[in-house]
């Protein structure tokens, strides 16, 4: 068998490390599990992270991913092959894992194939993330290397692989897993057109909104059977130093007591499905503020023909005085959208705005016909609008409740014989036709790409030569509104 060079092994190891951040035969084992002191440090660090972050209660958004979903996705990597420049092939043969408080335990089966075939297994740990500079760093440690020797003697294999059978060698060569601190999303609202009936009928058009959103990852925690990611909206990576082990709590030397304390502190970070996404009210308000500021004109208004006023009068004979709207056009701007509270399935939105348009009026006053071209202003003054969250397939929609309306105060102003004449009217906008679809970000695409085959050239450059799209669906979507936040829970299935 041709020797597997250190350079090629380093490249292959880096590839496997990057991949797994997302996600019985005769044996000769080398290495040992971590000691009690290291386990205590892991648990202390996680406990301190939860304590400093107030168990992520103040995070703008929190994503909880269950163990089953992570392992189901990771197992789709089985079969990945890396062709090394010396002709040898490394193949991923198995993936197993378990999520524990403060550490993810991974068992990765590899097959090295050249003139002979050798199977080995790496057992390692990935700890909770630490923010360093511009990346989220996940400490990775190999704790055990197992040779699945079959008919080959362990002495022969030890001679062939040498130092690579020691966990220390792998740990020296494996890079720390680093994840980018930003997650890009987009808020989209389609263009719309609807009609307003009543005393002043009109047609209202609204523009499309497509607003880029950036979320910064502030922490990644490994808990029992789940991973939790905390996000902050529209901010750069915060300068957070590594959390140091605390020596204050009386639980510092008892692993069972530390795990119990962690379980109590993370009770609010559970998920009764494969995926959970929690939006704080601050995030939704920030999105609404961007909507209000995105356009100088949120409404394009077109007045329709209609009777504005009718008055019966008797002057010798009965006459009918009236004013009709012939046409008109204008614009309006929404200046404020602010959710006051989210609780018990209710969302209260305060809306303010103003607009103006020019109109053409015709009418008769005591038998005398007239025509006017008044300037019309209207105001939406801090009105309350009830909203609701709804699911459409795999999408989460924020919308006005069916039948809800938005009162507006309207004033017609014109000049007659050098004097300003005004007419005040009240009207309503069908809010359920206006705010009928604000699609919230979910942070989950519907597929992601996995490498199936890679090649390493003589210069050590790595190329992906074959990819596979991993598609999945979200089902059984559940929405909950409580504690000033929106919770989205769903089940995950790989197609």
Q: How many CA atoms lie within 13 A of 126 on its CB side?
A: 30
Q: Which helix (H) or strand (E) holds 382?
A: strand 375-392
Residue 114's φ and ψ, nearest 5 degrees, are -150, -115
Structural domain including 11 reads 1-495
Nearest to 419 by CA among 356, 372, 358, 354: 372
In this prediction the pTM is: 0.78
Distance CA(5)–CA(161), nearest Å, equals 10
Tokens representing 468? 């596979």
Distance CA(356)–CA(305), nearest Å, equals 18
Report the pLDDT value the prediction gives residue 302, as an integer from 0 to 100: 93
* SS3 assignment, position 251: coil
Q: Which of 312-316, 441-445, 459-463, 487-491 has the highest mean pLDDT?
A: 487-491
* SS3 assignment, position 207: coil
Range in 123-127, 296-300, 324-328, 448-452 the model is least confident about: 448-452
Segment 71-121, tens digit of pLDDT: 888 888 899 888 877 787 888 899 898 999 998 888 888 887 777 777 878
Q: Which helix (H) or strand (E) holds 282?
A: helix 281-294
What proportions of the chain, in percent to the nearest 5, are helix, strand and coil?
20, 55, 25
Distance CA(393)–CA(285), nearest Å, equals 24
Segment 154-185, tens digit of pLDDT: 555 555 555 667 788 777 766 667 777 777 77
Q: How confident is the model at residue 383 (pLDDT cuts 50, 70, 90)?
A: very high
Segment 17-71, tens digit of pLDDT: 444 443 423 334 444 456 788 888 889 989 998 999 899 998 999 999 999 988 8
List of residues 6+ apart from 486 with CB closer than 8 A: 278, 279, 284, 342, 389, 396, 440, 479, 480
Tokens representing 62? 């929190």
Segment 295-343, tens digit of pLDDT: 888 989 998 998 888 888 877 788 899 888 899 999 999 999 999 888 8
* SS3 assignment, position 195: strand
Report the pLDDT value the prediction gives residue 251, as an integer from 0 to 100: 63
Report the pLDDT value the prediction gives residue 269, as an integer from 0 to 100: 94
Distance CA(255)–CA(266), nearest Å, equals 16
Number of domains, the chain = 1
Asked if pLDDT for residue 214 goes beyond 80, the answer is: yes
85 or 384, greater pLDDT:
384
Range in 17-31, 121-135, 391-405, 412-426 the model is least confident about: 17-31
Look over the chain and give the mean of its residue pLDDT values, rounded to a whole number: 79
* SS3 assignment, position 417: coil
């Amino acid at each position: 068998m041709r020797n597997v060079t250190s350079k090629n092994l380093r490249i292959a190891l880096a590839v496997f490390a990057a991949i797994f951040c997302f996600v019985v035969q005769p044996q000769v084992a080398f290495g040992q599990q971590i000691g009690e002191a290291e386990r205590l440090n892991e648990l202390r660090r996680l406990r301190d992270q939860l304590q400093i972050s107030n168990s992520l209660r103040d995070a703008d958004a929190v994503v909880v991913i269950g163990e089953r979903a992570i392992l189901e996705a990771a197992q789709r990597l089985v079969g990945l092959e890396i062709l090394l420049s010396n002709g040898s092939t490394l193949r991923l043969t198995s993936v197993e894992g378990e999520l524990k408080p403060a550490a993810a335990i991974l068992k990765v089966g590899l097959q090295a194939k050249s003139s002979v075939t050798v199977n080995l297994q790496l057992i390692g740990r990935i700890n909770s993330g630490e923010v360093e500079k511009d990346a989220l760093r996940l400490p990775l440690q190999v704790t055990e290397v197992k040779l699945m020797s079959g008919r080959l003697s362990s002495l022969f294999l030890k001679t062939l692989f040498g130092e690579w059978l020691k966990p220390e060698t792998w740990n020296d060569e494996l890079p720390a897993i680093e994840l980018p601190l930003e997650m890009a999303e987009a808020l989209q609202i389609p263009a719309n057109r609807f009609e307003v009936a009543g005393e002043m009928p009109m047609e209202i058009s609204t523009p499309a909104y497509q607003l880029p959103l950036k979320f910064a990852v502030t922490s990644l925690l490994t808990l029992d059977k789940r991973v939790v990611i905390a996000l902050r909206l529209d901010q750069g990576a915060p300068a957070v130093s590594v959390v140091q082990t605390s020596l204050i709590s009386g639980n510092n030397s008892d692993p069972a007591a530390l795990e119990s304390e962690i379980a109590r502190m993370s009770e609010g970070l559970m998920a009764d499905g494969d995926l959970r996404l929690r939006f704080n009210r601050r995030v939704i308000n920030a999105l609404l503020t961007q909507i209000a500021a995105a356009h100088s004109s949120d409404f394009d208004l077109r007045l329709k023909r209609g009777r504005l006023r009718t008055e019966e009068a008797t002057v010798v004979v009965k006459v009918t005085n009236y004013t009709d709207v012939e046409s008109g056009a204008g614009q309006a701007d929404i200046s404020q959208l602010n959710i006051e509270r989210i609780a018990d399935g209710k969302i209260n939105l305060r809306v303010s705005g103003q607009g103006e348009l020019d109109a053409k009026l015709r009418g008769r006053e005591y038998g005398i016909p007239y025509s006017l071209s008044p300037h019309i202003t209207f105001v939406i003054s801090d009105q309350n609008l009830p909203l609701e969250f709804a699911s459409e397939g795999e999408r989460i929609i924020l919308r006005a409740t069916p039948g809800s309306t938005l009162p507006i105060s309207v004033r017609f102003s014109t000049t007659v014989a050098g004097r300003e004449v005004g007419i005040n009217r009240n009207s309503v906008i069908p809010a359920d036709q206006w705010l009928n679809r604000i699609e919230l970000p979910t942070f989950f695409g519907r597929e992601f790409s996995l490498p199936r085959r890679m090649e390493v050239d003589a210069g050590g450059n790595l190329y992906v030569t074959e990819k596979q799209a991993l598609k999945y669906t979200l089902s059984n979507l559940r929405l909950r509104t409580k504690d000033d936040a929106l919770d989205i829970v769903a089940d995950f299935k790989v197609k």
